[in-house]
A = this chain, B = another copy of it.
Amino acid sequence: MALSEFDLIARYFAPLGQNGRGVSLGIGDDCAILDVPPGQQLLVSIDTLVEGVHFLPGTAADNLAYRVAGACLSDLAAMGAEPAWITLALTLPEAEELWLKSFSGALAEILDPWNICLVGGDTTRGKQLTISLQVHGWAPKGKALTRNGAQSGDLIYVSGTLGDSAAGLDQLQQKGDNQYLIDRFYRPTPRIETGLAIRSFASAAIDISDGLLADLGHILERSQVGAVVDPAKLPLSAALKSYPAEQTLDWALRGGEDFELAFTVPPQQQQAFESALKDHLVPCTQVGQITKDGGLQLQQPDGSLTACTKDGYRHF
C-alpha cells in the first residue's frame, strides 16, 4: 500500500527532529518546548522563498534546501549567534515522494553538522511552491552583533569572496558549466563559524544578501556613518576572474546572495582580531573604512573618491 502524503511527510521530516539541544519536547504536540541556555539571548529570523520569484522554477529539491537553509542560517551568522532550531512552513502543489526525500535529505546534510533540530512546521497544499523557514539561535546576553555599532574609523571587512553567486546565476542562464560558481549560487555557505569568531571584535555586522553596497548601506544607515570602499581590495575567486574585470567588479559590489559577512572592526581591535583569525578557514579581507559622514564612496585608482548609489535587489 502506498504511503499517504501525511505519512510521507512524517517519514521524511521526523528524522530532522532528532538530537536537538535544549529540546524538551519536539514535533508532535501543539507547540515545541525549548530551553534557551542560561545567560543566552534568543535570536530568531524568518524568510520566505517563492518559486518563480526567489528561485528558478524547476530548481532541484536538494539545491533548494541548501539555498533556503543557507540564506536563513546566514541571518544567525550575521548576528554572531549559534544556531539551534528551525521551523519549516512548506506549501507544495503536491507531496511527491522523491522531492520530499531529496529536499529533506539535503536539509539534514546542512543541519547535522550543527546539531540543528527541526522543532515544528506545517505542510500545506498550494498552487506555488513556497517555503518559509524560521531559524532560532542564541548568543550571550549583550554580545550579539547588530547593524548599528559602526563608528568612524572602523575598518570594513568581508568574509570569503564576493560576486560568485551572481556569476553562478549567469552560468545557469548562459548554460555555462562552471560548477564552482553554480554551487556558490545554489549552495551558499552560511558563515556561522566566522560570525562566532568575529563576535568579540566586530562593532557591526550584516550578511550580504542584496549586494555589498546595499547591505553595507544598511550598516551606514543604522549606525549613522559613512564609508569608503576600495574596489581594488575586494576579494575575488579565481573562477570569477574568468569574467571581464568590469563585470566582476559590478557583481562583487552589487551582486546579491553571496551570503558572506560584511563587518566593521575598531582600529584598536585590528591586531587582536587579525591574530585571532589567522587560522580561521574563511579569509576575511579589509575592503574599506567607516567615515564620519559622506555617504558611501568608492576609492578610484587615482585616490579620488566618487559617491556611489547603493543599488541592490529589492525583494518586492
Q: Which residues of B contact A148 (CB under 8 A)?
A: 29
Contact assessment for B125 and A128 in the assembled complex, using a CB-CB cutoff below 8 Å: no
Assembled-state Cα–Cα distance A163/B78 (Å): 48
Assembled-state Cα–Cα distance A315/B91 (Å): 12
Q: Say yes or no: is A267 at the interface (Cβ < 8 Å to chain B).
A: no
Contact assessment for A32 and B43 in the assembled complex, using a CB-CB cutoff below 8 Å: yes
Q: Which residues of B contact A79 (CB under 8 A)?
A: 29-31, 33
Instruction: Report the nearest B residue to A87, measured CB to CB.
Output: B46
Q: Say yes or no: is A290 at the interface (Cβ < 8 Å to chain B).
A: no
Interface residues of A in 188-238 (CB under 8 A from B): 206-207, 222
Contact assessment for B46 and A147 in the assembled complex, using a CB-CB cutoff below 8 Å: no
Contact assessment for B48 and A89 in the assembled complex, using a CB-CB cutoff below 8 Å: yes
Instruction: Report the nearest B residue to A141, measured CB to CB.
Output: B35
**Secondary structure call for the A interface:** strand
Interface residues of A in 1-50 (CB under 8 A from B): 5-6, 9, 24-25, 28-36, 38, 41-50
Partner of A6, one of B6, B38, B316: B316
Partner of A128, one of B74, B75, B121, B126: B126
Q: Say yes or no: is A286 at the interface (Cβ < 8 Å to chain B).
A: no
Residues A81 and B31 in contact in the complex (CB < 8 Å), given A25-B146, A87-B134: yes
Write the nearest CB–CB distance from A38 to chain B, whole angstroms: 8
Q: Say yes or no: is A122 at the interface (Cβ < 8 Å to chain B).
A: yes
Q: Say yes or no: is A119 at the interface (Cβ < 8 Å to chain B).
A: yes
Contact assessment for B95 and A132 in the assembled complex, using a CB-CB cutoff below 8 Å: no
Residues A30 and B50 in contact in the complex (CB < 8 Å), given A314-B6, A316-B6, A316-B125: no
Q: Which residues of B contact A32 (CB under 8 A)?
A: 43-45
Write the nearest CB–CB distance from A225 to chain B, whole angstroms: 16
Contact assessment for B146 and A29 in the assembled complex, using a CB-CB cutoff below 8 Å: yes
Q: Say yes or no: is A175 at the interface (Cβ < 8 Å to chain B).
A: no
Write the nearest CB–CB distance from A169 to chain B, whole angstroms: 19
Q: Which residues of B contact A281 (CB under 8 A)?
A: none
Binary CB contact string for chain A from 158 to 196 against chain B (1 if under 8 A, 0 otherwise): 000000000000000000000000000000000000000
Write the nearest CB–CB distance from A208 to chain B, whole angstroms: 11
Known: A28-B222, A46-B89. 6 other contacts (CB 8 A): A5-B316, A30-B45, A46-B121, A47-B89, A122-B132, A132-B132
Please name 30 pairs of A and B residues whose Cβ atoms are closer than 8 Å in the assembled complex, sorted by A.
A6-B316, A25-B146, A28-B222, A29-B146, A29-B222, A30-B74, A30-B75, A30-B147, A31-B43, A31-B78, A31-B137, A31-B144, A32-B45, A33-B42, A33-B43, A34-B42, A44-B136, A48-B91, A48-B122, A48-B124, A50-B124, A50-B125, A89-B132, A123-B315, A123-B316, A124-B315, A125-B315, A125-B316, A128-B128, A134-B134
